[in-house]
Structure 1
Amino acid sequence: MTNWDHTTNVLVVGTGGGAMTAALVAKQAGLNVLLIEKTEYYGGSTALSGGGLWIPNNYLLQRDGLDDSLEKARTYLKNTVGDRTPQALQEAYLENAPEMVKYLSSNSHVRFHRSVGYADYYPERPGGMADGRAIEGSPFDGSKLGEDFKQLRPMSIKIPAGMAFTASEYNKLGMISSTWAGKWVAFKVGLRTVFNLLTGVKYLALGQALIARLRLSLKDEKIPIWLNTPLKELIVEDGTVAGVLAEKDGKPFRIRASKGVILAAGGFDHNQAMREEFQKGPVNHLWSSGSPGNTGDAIQAGMKIGAKIDLMEDAWWGPSSMPPHMPVMFHVGERSYPGAIIVNAAGKRFTNEAASYVEVVHAMYEKDSAENKHVPATFIMDSRFRNKYIFGTLFPMQPIPKSYFESGYFKRGDTLEELAQACGLDPQNLAETVARFNQFARNGVDEDFQRGASAYDRYYGDPTVKPNPCLAPIEKPPFYAVQMVPGDLGTKGGLVIDEFARVLSADGSPISGLYAAGNTSASVMGNTYPGAGSTIGPAMMFGYIAAKHIAGGKIRPIGKLP
């Protein structure tokens, strides 16, 4: 028998949204809970994210009188995810995700608001919603965390002190030069920043707000988090996962979990060897926006005891760039703003740039070949675009740093031909591609890739540009280019789970005592991305389900909703 150093009922590995939700629900069900975290910070990739959750038929949608239902959402998943993942897994998500939101809203400090107008990523497909199903964690004063605030994983992109904005506000900020709504939001964010600096309020938004709210809820329940405590392996006794071998204070430390172990420690974002083994090249872990601690430890531990894996070839992809002396930049709104395109090495467009970010990278990989490279691709814009819209951390009219040009991150040309030569693209092809695109822009119809035809494309478009908010001619010199690599928000493949979040063995039977959630598990969303928050929504829902199953269904009831 194992000589245990510590015993608890439920051990949760990881401290992202899925892990914290699982821990909170289990503790409120009367179980003893411990979370262990590999790094010096809690929050995982959730803390680095936009903090959105894709939750069909949630109570906030119902409260606003929007037309959604279980059947409508089921139809949408059928027409997006299809049969790539088990129907039972999809049903579990559709039925329990709205319940999870109500549970947290009534039993913790977690509060949500709708990401109004953020369309599903395929809103024109049957069951899709142009109004969207996304919600996000509401802003929060981090000073309420006391000393624990210092251990919240900081954003990878440094934001000026006191400044914070929600995902919905970011959408409006992108139009600061174009719309009064954009200017108003910028004014509000500015006033809020000054107020925060003067009063000492640590205003948090996006994924940091969601994690901070969960962390305060865990503090209220006196749930311990052990930082700098990496998982090393799972310990199996008599066919059941009885606990784990971890490392604490640099020494082996055996933790017994009498009721179950929940693995919610992220994917293998920064494990180069695993990425090369399972994913199509070229691939580089430095292109990932996932938490630095996500190196696949929990997935490997599960594989070692015979767990089944799936979707290892895929990730939550998105076109990204590599600015000098900064973390990787994941590009969302820029691809929909009018007056820019993405081209391959031949200087030709190859997809709808404004489509869901995962679709753009899928196209990059699917069309990439030795004869015609699509990885990396190149983002082309003119001076009008650069002066009017946000690109990465650059605001409209903000001078492009000298280091961007010196490092080669930004390329510049007084003509398209000069830009093409600087980028190693075919000058004639690029000129012809831009001329064709410009004609589409004037007519308002992208005849090649239908950019701007979907409500999702238009969410980040410029409503002052007619007739298509995603199309404008590229014609004002100088012209600029930035290389785009297939980045991601995290990997998508992992341990296969059932509708109770139990990890399955190779023969399809559940491994006793072992559960998984988030990017440690193979995503319920298969190879697609139905809407904003399709990562964190399932992570938190399956964390919720895992705890509920361990507690035998006897969890705290849902209370009055805020």
Structure 2
Amino acid sequence: MGGVSGGSRPAAAAESLHDLVVVGSGAAGMACAIVAHELGLQPVVLEKAPWFGGSTALSGGATWIPNNPHQVAAGRAESRAAVLAYLRGETGNRGSEAHWEAFLDKGPEMVAFLEARSELKFSVRPVAPDYHSDREGAGLGWRVLDPLDYDGRRLGADFDRLRPPVPEFTILGGMMVGRQDLPHLFAMTRSLRSARHVAGILARHLADRLGHRRGTRLVMGNAMAARLGHSLLARGIPLELETAAVELLVEQGRVAGVVAERQGRRRLFRARRGVVLAGGGIPHAPGLAGQIAPHRDLRGHWSMSPAHNSGDSVGLAAPLGGHLLESNSDNGFWTPVSLLPQPGGGVRPFPHLFLDRAKPGVVAVDRSGRRFVNEAASYHDFVRGLLGRDGGRGSEPPVWLVADHRAIRRYGLGAVRPFLAALGRHLRSGYLKRADTPEALAAALGIDAGGLRETLAAFNRDAAAGEDRAFGKGSTAYNRYLGDPENRPNPCLRPLDRPPFYAIQLHPGDIGASMGLETDPQARVLDGEGRPIPGLYACGNDANSIMAGAYPGAGITLGPALTFGYIAARQLAGDGG
């Protein structure tokens, strides 16, 4: 994990004294530092990347907090028993009820605290089904919060220090598009209101580009990172970028600081109270690829997590007994990705999260030309289906996402934009395949033509009737939430009958690792004997997911990340957890 080591007397060229040192500037780390400052402590945040924001800045920003203040204020409070029943069903016997209780106790409190005392503000989703919406205790709405949009111009010169979003998630040279914009984009040719909305955000973007390298209207996770960054910097909390933590200082049996390196020079950041590890986890940790994703060698695997999330912050704990928890059902948060060729060579992974797979006129097939999964399942479940087909043997990749002309023009496919966007460059690069018949498409993909022909015939019969008898696409509230509400009778089903036909190759990938350090419900890192390591805490993806490798719903990474960052700060301040 990064080849780092701990010790009692690290050498450093300079020293500074703080109450706590936070390693990592994602949501967990920044929230921890802000809360600690509000409770009277003096924190410092170390970030090895040249930007702040971590994985949060690249994320959708969804935050899963059952019984959050917005939910309660709307009169939609729910029983804790229902939430716990859902979590038990999701995790089996792997989950920790003590961690869930801490999360459910402190999550709503964290939201109220940060909304009252920082720039972080949320809206609630009245409709947002949990990913397994037919399971006991699942919620159909109100549990998910989204950060409010943010004007990046308020960051001033620090705007350029905010990690930019994934380029393919922007349009027109850096214009971000949020969840609230998507219905308007899909309806802009049919609705005057939607046309006005789209015209407004376009006008704002054009004005932005006169003075900025990208749009300053920030949405989703980029807005969350900006809001937390604004709150951090406005308080004068030191934020040390391009500063990599390389060693822990241990004095009298307690973690008392961090040795960090910047441009070849070392500095000791002493901590009166302790150190919080929040460096984004281990998705790119050297030597752990096979442990995180055992399928990697057979099928190839692509991570959407920032390359800086290489596990070195987690590795700091190893000499003190800190260890990765190995009991998760899955060690990553899976997502299917396509590989988008880049102008200068190479490819960039593009995640297929929720925009295309669930839509009408779209199916996924493997080399046999057969479907293998409910395409409208969550991204995590889709990859589990991809990896588990053929009784777990898993035929060789690739798998393909197939759509007809009507579907690709209305909804897009992967990085291919809908409506009037040009398809030529994607066809020329080979990212997108096209053919006039299913048989010709199968030949272009190198898959079984008879299998694809039979698959589409069976799917089209079911789609016309509004019921997918093979895999149940469109059978749950979550499936239908991701479909097209204007499509009847099933938002997720329509025959693929408008040639030409298109396909994009998919691969397994992740948006982060769920495997992390074992911690207790107070966010303290535990040693091999289950004892807290004095002065050492972990939150975000540096800590093992409290969902134990399951993926119950939107925001189950950021919700616990913010909450356990809050808990760690309160513990360090002596204010309870």
Which of 21, 45, 50 is the aligned partner of 1:11? 21
Partner in structure 1 of residue 437 of structure 2 = 415
Moved more, 276-285 or 480-489: 276-285
Residue in structure 1 matched with residue 515 of structure 2 by the alignment? 493
Match status 1:348 vs 2:362 = no
CA distance in 2, matches of 1:232, 1:493: 21
Distance 1:278 1:314, change over 3 A: closer
Post-superposition offset of 1:279: 2.2
2: CA distance, partners of 1:186 / 1:321: 30
**Contact 2:247–2:258, Cα closer than 8 Å, also in 1:** yes
Shift of 1:204: 1.1
Q: Which residue of 2 aligns with 1:175?
A: 186
2:144 and 2:393 map into 1 onto residues whose CA distance is 40
Can you list the C-alpha shifts for 1:149-205, whole angstroms capped at 9, x where unaligned?
1100001224335733432333x246337974xx74453133133135447782211
Q: Which residue of 1 aligns with 2:244?
A: 230
Q: Distance in 2 between matches of 1:386 and 1:396?
A: 6
- Could you tell me which runs of 5 or more consecutive residues in structure 1 were left unpaired when the two chains were aligned: 556-562
Question: What residue is the counterpart of 2:36 in the other structure?
Answer: 26
Confirm whether residue 462 of structure 1 aligns to residue 474 of structure 2. no
Residue among 451, 469, 475 paired with 1:453: 475
1:13: Cα distance to partner?
A: 0.4
Q: Secondary structure at the match of 1:485?
A: strand
The question of whether the paired residues in 1 share the 8 Å contact of 2:25 and 2:47 is answered with: yes
Q: Confirm or deny that 1:282 pairs with 2:299.
A: no
**Counterpart position of 2:265:** 251
Tell me the residue number matched to 2:160.
150
- Residue in structure 2 matched with residue 330 of structure 1 by the alignment: 351
RMSD of aligned residue pairs (Cα, Å): 2.3
The equivalent of 1:533 in structure 2 is 555
Q: Could you tell me how far apart the structure 2 residues matched to 1:273 and 1:190 are?
A: 49
Of the three residues 278, 300, 318, the one matched with 1:264 is: 278
8 Å contact from structure 1 (residues 115, 136) kept in 2: yes
Deviates more, 1:311-320 or 1:16-25: 311-320
Q: Deviations over 1:283-336 (max 9, x none)?
A: 699722212211111122223432121257521111111111163211122011
Deviates more, 1:260-269 or 1:324-333: 324-333
1:188 to 177, 197, 205: 197
Match of 2:450 in 1: 428
Pairs within 5 Å for 1:101-180: 101-157=111-167, 158-160=170-172, 163-170=175-182, 172-173=183-184, 175-176=186-187, 180=191
Q: How far is 1:554 from its partner?
A: 6.5
Q: Contact 2:155/2:230 (CA < 8 Å) preserved in 1?
A: yes
Alignment-mate amino acid for residue 147 of structure 2? G
SS at match of 1:482: strand
Distance change in 2, residues 1:64/1:165 (3 Å): farther
Q: Is the 8 A contact 2:242 2:262 kept in 1?
A: yes
Q: Which SS does the other structure have where 1:168 is aligned?
A: coil
Using the aligned pairs only, state the percent identity.
38
Moved more, 305-314 or 294-303: 305-314
Deviations 1:380-423 (A, max 9, x none): 11111112213234332334443322332111121111111211
Q: For 1:232 and 1:285, locate their aligned partners in 2 and report how far apart those are by CA, in whole Å.
A: 30
Equivalent residues of 1:442, 1:472 under 8 A apart: yes
Cα deviation, residue 369, structure 1: 7.9
Q: Secondary structure at the match of 1:481?
A: strand
The answer (yes or no) to whether the contact 2:36–2:43 under 8 Å persists in 1 is: yes
1:385–1:213 CA distance, 2 compared to 1 (3 A): same
Q: 2:56 and 2:485 mapped to 1: Cα distance?
A: 31
- In structure 2, the CA distance between the partners of 1:482 and 1:162, relative to structure 1 (3 Å rule), is closer
Q: 1:263 and 1:179 mapped to 2: Cα distance?
A: 49
Partner in structure 1 of residue 4 of structure 2: none
When residues 143 and 174 of structure 1 are mapped into structure 2, their CA distance, relative to the original with a 3 A threshold, is closer
Seen in structure 2, the aligned counterparts of structure 1 residues 403 and 368 have a Cα distance that, compared at 3 Å, is farther
| 2:463 is the alignment partner of 1:441 | yes
Report the number of matched residues: 552
Q: Sort the Cα spacing of 1:537 and 1:374 in 2 relative to 1 into closer, same or farther, 3 A.
A: farther
Instruction: State the alpha-carbon separation in 1 of the partners of residues 122 and 68 from structure 2.
Output: 11
Whether 1:479 aligns to 2:501 is yes
Secondary structure of the corresponding residue to residue 323 of structure 1: strand
Gap change, CA 1:195 and 1:463, over 3 Å in 2:
same
Alignment correspondent of 2:307: 292
Residue 73 of structure 1 deviates from its aligned partner by: 1.6
Structure 2 counterpart of 1:384, one-letter code: R
Per-residue CA deviations over 1:76-128 (Å, capped at 9, x if unaligned) read 21222333121101111111111110110111111100133121111221111
The code of the aligned residue for 1:120 comes to D
Match of 1:559 in 2: none
Q: Is the 8 A contact 2:301 2:508 kept in 1?
A: no
**Aligned equivalents of 1:303, 1:178: Cα separation in 2:** 57
- What is the identity, as a one-letter code, of the residue corresponding to 1:339? G
**Which one-letter code corresponds to 1:188 in the other structure?**
H
Q: Which one-letter code corresponds to 1:293 in the other structure?
A: H
Shifted more, 335-344 versus 372-381: the winner is 372-381
SS of equivalent residue, structure 1 residue 235: strand
Distance 1:190 1:286 in 2: 39
Q: Distance in 1 between matches of 2:225 and 2:560?
A: 15
CA distance, structure 1, for counterparts of residue 457 and residue 476 of structure 2 = 23
- Measure, in 2, the Cα distance between the counterparts of 1:190 and 1:38: 39
2:259 partner letter: L
Match of 1:446, SS state, is: coil
Match for residue 224 of structure 2? 210
Distance 1:179 1:488 in 2: 36
Indicate the larger mover: 283-292 or 269-278: 283-292
Secondary structure of 2:296's counterpart equals coil
1:42–1:152 contact (8 Å) kept in structure 2: yes
Cα distance between partner residues in 1 of 2:287 and 2:300: 9
Deviation at 1:482, TM superposition (A): 0.5
Amino acid at match of 2:262: K
Match of 1:404 among 423, 426, 431: 426
Q: Does 1:301 align with 2:316?
A: yes
Q: Which amino acid aligns with 1:330?
A: P
Gaps of 5+ in 2: 1-7
Cα contact 1:132–1:531 (8 A) shared by 2:
no
Query: Given residue 531 of structure 1, which amino acid in structure 2 is its aligned partner?
Result: G
Q: Provide the TM-score with structure 1 as the length reference.
A: 0.93
Provide the TM-score with structure 2 as the length reference.
0.90
Q: Per-residue deviation at 1:524?
A: 0.5
1:186-232 deviation per Cα after TM superposition (whole angstroms, max 9, x unaligned):
53133133135447782211111111111111122210100000121
The equivalent residue for 1:560 is none
Question: Which of 382, 386, 389 in structure 1 is aligned with 2:411?
Answer: 389
Instruction: Find the residue that maps to 1:11 and give its secondary structure.
Output: strand
Distance change in 2, residues 1:174/1:314 (3 Å): farther
Contact 1:365 1:375 in 2 (8 A): no
Quick one: structure 1 residues 467 and 446, their matched pair in 2 at CA, closer, same or farther if it must change by over 3 Å?
Answer: same
